[in-house]
Structure 1
Amino acid sequence: MIEYYSTNLNAPRTDLAGALLQGQASDKGLYMPSEVPAFAPDFLKRARDMAFPAMAAEILGAYAQGVFTPAQLAEICEDAYNFPVPLEKVQDKRFVMRLDQGPTASFKDFAARFMGRALGRLVQSKGSELLILTATSGDTGSAVAHAFLGVPGIRVLVLFPTGEVSDRQRKQMTTLGNNVAAISVDGKFDDCQALVKRAFADPDLKGLNLSSANSINIGRLLPQSVYYVYAASRLADIAAGEKVVFSVPSGNFGDLMGGVLSYRSGLPVARFVAATNANDEVPRFLATGTYQKIEPSRECISNAMNVGHPSNLARLVALYGGRMDETGHIHQAPDMEALRRDFFSVSISDEETKATLARVYRETQVMLEPHGSVGWAGLERLNEVDPSSRAYTSIVLETAHPAKFPAEVKACINVEPPLPPSLEGLEDKPEVCGRMDASYEAFKAHLQKEYR
Structure 2
Amino acid sequence: MSEPLHYRSTRGARHAAGIEQVIAAGLAPDGGLYVPEALPSLDPSLFDPNGSLADTASTLLEPFFRGSPMAGELPAICREAFDFDVPLRPLSFRNDASVLELFHGPSAAFKDIGARFLAACFRRLRRDAAAPLTIVVATSGDTGAAVAAAFHRQPGIRVVVLYPDGRVSPRQAHQLGCFGDNVQALRVAGTFDDCQRMAKAVLNDTELQSHVPLSSANSISLGRLLPQMSYYAHAALGWWHRHHRPLNFIVPTGNLGNALACVWVREMGLPVGEIHLACNANATLSDYFDGAPYSPRPAVATLANAMDVGAPSNFERLRWTFPRDHELRLQLHASSVDDDVIGDTIARHARDHGELFCPHTATAMHVLDGMSDTDLAWAVVATAHPSKFDSVVEPLIGRTILVPPALQAMLQRPAHAEPMPASDEALKHWLAYQTA
Shorter-normalised TM-score: what interval? over 0.9
The question of whether the paired residues in 2 share the 8 Å contact of 1:270 and 1:342 is answered with no
Alignment of structure 1 residues 392-431 onto 2, 5 Å: 392-431=376-415
Moved more, 69-78 or 437-446: 69-78
Identity %: 36
The question of whether the paired residues in 2 share the 8 Å contact of 1:11 and 1:26 is answered with no
- Cα 1:159–1:69 change in 2 (3 A) is closer
**Aligned residue in 2 for 1:184:** 187
**Aligned residue in 2 for 1:301:** 303
Match of 2:359 among 336, 356, 370: 370
In the superposition, the TM-score normalised over structure 1's length comes to 0.91
The question of whether the paired residues in 2 share the 8 Å contact of 1:238 and 1:268 is answered with no
Letter in 2 for 1:231: A
The answer to whether 1:350 aligns with 2:339 is yes
**Aligned residue in 2 for 1:330:** none
Separation in 2 of the partners of 1:247 and 1:41? 22
Letter in 1 for 2:278: A
Separation in 2 of the partners of 1:80 and 1:23? 19
The question of whether the paired residues in 2 share the 8 Å contact of 1:123 and 1:153 is answered with no
The question of whether the paired residues in 2 share the 8 Å contact of 1:238 and 1:267 is answered with no
The answer to whether 1:339 aligns with 2:328 is yes
**Aligned residue in 1 for 2:80:** 79
- Cα 1:427–1:42 change in 2 (3 A) is closer
Runs of at least 5 residues in structure 1 that lack an aligned partner in the other structure: 322-333
The question of whether the paired residues in 2 share the 8 Å contact of 1:20 and 1:219 is answered with yes
- Cα 1:19–1:192 change in 2 (3 A) is same
The answer to whether 1:111 aligns with 2:114 is yes
The question of whether the paired residues in 2 share the 8 Å contact of 1:57 and 1:70 is answered with no
The question of whether the paired residues in 2 share the 8 Å contact of 1:120 and 1:153 is answered with no
- Cα 1:442–1:70 change in 2 (3 A) is closer
Separation in 1 of the partners of 2:225 and 2:206? 27
Match of 2:291 among 278, 288, 304: 288
Runs of at least 5 residues in structure 2 that lack an aligned partner in the other structure: none
Query: How far did residue 392 of structure 1 move?
Result: 1.0
Letter in 1 for 2:99: V
Structure 1 runs of 4+ with >6 Å offset: 125-128
The answer to whether 1:14 aligns with 2:23 is no
Separation in 1 of the partners of 2:128 and 2:69? 12
Q: Structure 1, residues 309-344: CA drift from partner, whole Å, max 9, x if none?
A: 0000110011002xxxxxxxxxxxx242x3232211
**Aligned residue in 2 for 1:327:** none
Moved more, 425-434 or 214-223: 425-434
Separation in 1 of the partners of 2:68 and 2:9? 19
The question of whether the paired residues in 2 share the 8 Å contact of 1:235 and 1:393 is answered with no
Moved more, 93-102 or 405-414: 405-414
Separation in 2 of the partners of 1:223 and 1:144? 14
Separation in 1 of the partners of 2:234 and 2:351? 29
The answer to whether 1:147 aligns with 2:150 is yes
- Cα 1:371–1:56 change in 2 (3 A) is same
Moved more, 259-268 or 126-135: 126-135
Q: Structure 1, residues 82-106: CA drift from partner, whole Å, max 9, x if none?
A: 1111221112110001101001111
SS for the counterpart of 1:273 is strand
Q: Structure 1, residues 159-213: CA drift from partner, whole Å, max 9, x if none?
A: 0000111122122221111111110000000000000101111122122121100
Separation in 2 of the partners of 1:244 and 1:51? 18
SS for the counterpart of 2:65 is coil
SS for the counterpart of 2:267 is helix
**Aligned residue in 2 for 1:328:** none
The answer to whether 1:278 aligns with 2:281 is yes
Separation in 1 of the partners of 2:380 and 2:129? 41
Separation in 1 of the partners of 2:60 and 2:294? 33
Alignment of structure 1 residues 47-446 onto 2, 5 Å: 48-90=49-91, 91-123=94-126, 129-207=132-210, 208-237=212-241, 240=244, 242-295=245-298, 297-321=299-323, 334-336=324-326, 338-381=327-370, 383=371, 390-446=374-430
Query: How far did residue 449 of structure 1 move?
Result: 0.4
Number of corresponding residues: 430
In the superposition, the TM-score normalised over structure 2's length comes to 0.95
Query: How far did residue 451 of structure 1 move?
Result: 2.2
- Cα 1:43–1:168 change in 2 (3 A) is same
The question of whether the paired residues in 1 share the 8 Å contact of 2:239 and 2:246 is answered with no
Moved more, 152-161 or 338-347: 338-347
Moved more, 340-349 or 157-166: 340-349
Separation in 1 of the partners of 2:220 and 2:242? 30
The question of whether the paired residues in 2 share the 8 Å contact of 1:271 and 1:341 is answered with no
The question of whether the paired residues in 2 share the 8 Å contact of 1:248 and 1:375 is answered with yes
